[in-house]
Structure 1
Amino acid sequence: MKQPKINPYFVIAIGVVSVSSSAIFVKLATAESAIIAFYRLMFSVLLMLPLFLMKYRMELTKVKKMDWMLASAAGIFLAFHFILWFESLTYTSVASSTVLVTLQPIFAFAGAYFFYKERFSVKAILSGVVAVLGSLLISWGDFKVSGLALIGDMLAIIACGLITAYLLLGQTVRKRLSSITYTFIVYSASTITLFIYAWAAGNSFGPYPASDWIYFILLAIFPNLLGHSLFNWSLRWVSTTTISMAILLEPIGAALLAYWLLGETIQWTQAVGGAIILASLMIFLRDEQNNSSGL
């Protein structure tokens, strides 16, 4: 396989920082969850459109039927990930929802094992479990598991499974399609799905305050184009499990951004949990590189 010009791990790091802003913008916007997700994806497609039409539109004619189906399915999974995650914020705390969504390594390890026959060392599995525990520690004081919060927690867990399925599908299709073409198909399918859902739910598509439109565009630029799009690019060279482990850094980034932008305090549990995640991620990446070099 052709080697990338940019280190994929560096690209993933930029993606993690970018997706960390998602909860901030969603929290600031006043629109319904499905509407926020719809405009987030719609503006992502519109911002990609000029580049896609100029350089990649002819690639669409070469996309095989199976890849169309897989990419479209990935877009649908991404759409319902946003719907369920945003909806979970209605019932449970931001910390609970964010951390539950970042329990992706559990789903990623299982999915990679069953669908791609990937094998993992004991060290890799343990580092994943410890990283998840660190993620839970970050939200220890704000975690809720009873009453209506339980509904939100369940929605967040389902959203976690959906985003992992989205990445697992991308791991297959990205071997055959360019990042721009694959991402454009995924975002387009996701936009259509979100439009149908929002329309069926009776959500209003406008008008909204000027600030909301700014947040919609910022969500498209940072969490999507500089977040999920970079993850899609990286899938050609790294596995879903690696990206899922890296996404565990999202609560850390979100906490730092909340401290900087919203004036929220950083608790000792967040600092300790963040240190655990960082250490576990370093162990996981070192183990992965050692196994790769030994092949």
Structure 2
Amino acid sequence: MVEKETYLKGAGVYYVLLLGVVTLSFAGVFVAMSDAPAITIAFYRMSLSVILLTPIFFRRNDCRLEKLLNFRQTVVGFFLAIHFILWVTAFDYTAVANAVIFIALQPIFTLLLEFIWAREDLQPDIIAGVFITILGSLVVGAGEIGNLFANIKGDFLAVMAAFFAAIYLFSGRSLRKKMNYFPYIFSVYFYASIFLFLGLFIFGHSFTGYGSRNWLLFFGLALGPTVIGHSILNLSVRYVPTTIVSVAVIGEPVLTTLFAWLLLGESIPQLTFPGGLLILLGVVFTMTRKSG
């Protein structure tokens, strides 16, 4: 039986969601600093997250080993693993500007899923916010619009990554209504790490030999963008429609660009400023209209 959860009330969910997106935005910086293969980064990001959360799992009364033996969490974990594999691999083939455009497809996919299975979550103001953020993403990527579809493989991987992210969040919202928060995130991360382990084995990458710098980055990805960032996304979908969470996540690449400028000295494309403002406007518009 699912206990009644009272973690968030009212507008509090949006402040927490903002914290999650900000924390999640450091993932791109950490990945850029690592020279390990993409799937290796994804595997250690998830497996170290599971290790960090294991002591808490065994101390909680609502966490039992039989809760791991559930087909539904296995499927959600599979969706998360596929999203990570597709997303980090896409950057090997497509421009970052293209990825910013394609990540905007995620809330469109969630809107479609809600239209089919959860029409009660559909609201006109949410749809308007989605299209404002999409417009902002197009502005951000307009500087390299000539490269759009220059590499079909990379662009297709980015689109599919957005699609699986939408499925991951949408299926998680449904399942979160039936499970307590911590057993849910632990089991999903556990299965995602297993699928990533299989992927690492299938692609023939080494599990060792990455140096202390990479291990620190793996740990940073686990502790920040995953244990805090992704866990907040999973908490938020219990309280608000999946599309709102997806819209908020569109702000991630803008913040990642800012952090890369501050921490790595990378240049910021000129159109990132007006496009980023539109994205943030769409995010704020969606959240305030829903919370109001």
TM-score by length of 2: 0.91
Pair 1:48-2:48 in alignment? no
> Which AA in structure 1 matches 2:57?
F
- Listed as ranges, the matches of 1:10-159 within 5 Å are 10-56=15-61, 58-61=63-66, 63=67, 68-118=70-120, 120-143=122-145, 144-147=147-150, 149-159=151-161
Partner of 2:198: 196
Whole-Å Cα distance in 1 between the matches of residues 47 and 5 of structure 2? Answer: 32
Q: Percent identity?
A: 33
**Equivalent position SS for 1:114:** helix
**Equivalent position SS for 1:206:** coil
CA deviation after TM superposition for structure 1 residue 237, in Å: 1.0
Partner of 1:293: none
Whole-Å Cα distance in 1 between the matches of residues 122 and 240 of structure 2? Answer: 14
Whole-Å Cα distance in 2 between the matches of residues 171 and 93 of structure 1? Answer: 31
Gaps of 5+ in 1: 291-295
Whole-Å Cα distance in 2 between the matches of residues 237 and 274 of structure 1? Answer: 26
Partner of 2:7: 4
Partner of 1:181: 183
Partner of 1:284: 286
Partner of 2:231: 229
CA deviation after TM superposition for structure 1 residue 94, in Å: 2.4
CA deviation after TM superposition for structure 1 residue 176, in Å: 2.1
Pair 1:239-2:244 in alignment? no
Whole-Å Cα distance in 1 between the matches of residues 102 and 211 of structure 2? Answer: 31
Whole-Å Cα distance in 2 between the matches of residues 129 and 109 of structure 1? Answer: 11
TM-score by length of 1: 0.91
> Which AA in structure 2 matches 1:145?
L
CA deviation after TM superposition for structure 1 residue 57, in Å: 6.1
Whole-Å Cα distance in 1 between the matches of residues 207 and 126 of structure 2? Answer: 45
Segment drifting more, 7-16 vs 264-273: 264-273
- Contact kept, 8 Å, 1:85 with 1:101, in 2: the verdict is no
RMSD over aligned Cα, in angstroms? 1.9
CA deviation after TM superposition for structure 1 residue 124, in Å: 2.8
CA deviation after TM superposition for structure 1 residue 31, in Å: 1.2
- Contact kept, 8 Å, 1:103 with 1:248, in 2: the verdict is no
Whole-Å Cα distance in 1 between the matches of residues 99 and 85 of structure 2? Answer: 13
CA deviation after TM superposition for structure 1 residue 2, in Å: 5.2
CA deviation after TM superposition for structure 1 residue 132, in Å: 0.8
- Contact kept, 8 Å, 1:138 with 1:251, in 2: the verdict is no
- Contact kept, 8 Å, 1:12 with 1:230, in 2: the verdict is yes
CA deviation after TM superposition for structure 1 residue 197, in Å: 1.1
Whole-Å Cα distance in 1 between the matches of residues 216 and 138 of structure 2? Answer: 32
CA deviation after TM superposition for structure 1 residue 267, in Å: 3.1
- Equivalenced residue count is 286
CA deviation after TM superposition for structure 1 residue 286, in Å: 2.9
Whole-Å Cα distance in 2 between the matches of residues 102 and 25 of structure 1? Answer: 22
> Which AA in structure 1 matches 2:189?
Y
Gaps of 5+ in 2: none
Q: Kindly provide the CA deviation profile for residues 153-189 of structure 1, in whole angstroms up to 9, marking residues without a partner as x.
A: 1100001000110001110111122221101100010
- Contact kept, 8 Å, 2:23 with 2:229, in 1: the verdict is yes
> Which AA in structure 2 matches 1:49?
T
Whole-Å Cα distance in 1 between the matches of residues 269 and 68 of structure 2? Answer: 50
Whole-Å Cα distance in 1 between the matches of residues 117 and 149 of structure 2? Answer: 34
> Which AA in structure 2 matches 1:4?
Y
- Contact kept, 8 Å, 2:172 with 2:234, in 1: the verdict is yes
CA deviation after TM superposition for structure 1 residue 98, in Å: 4.2
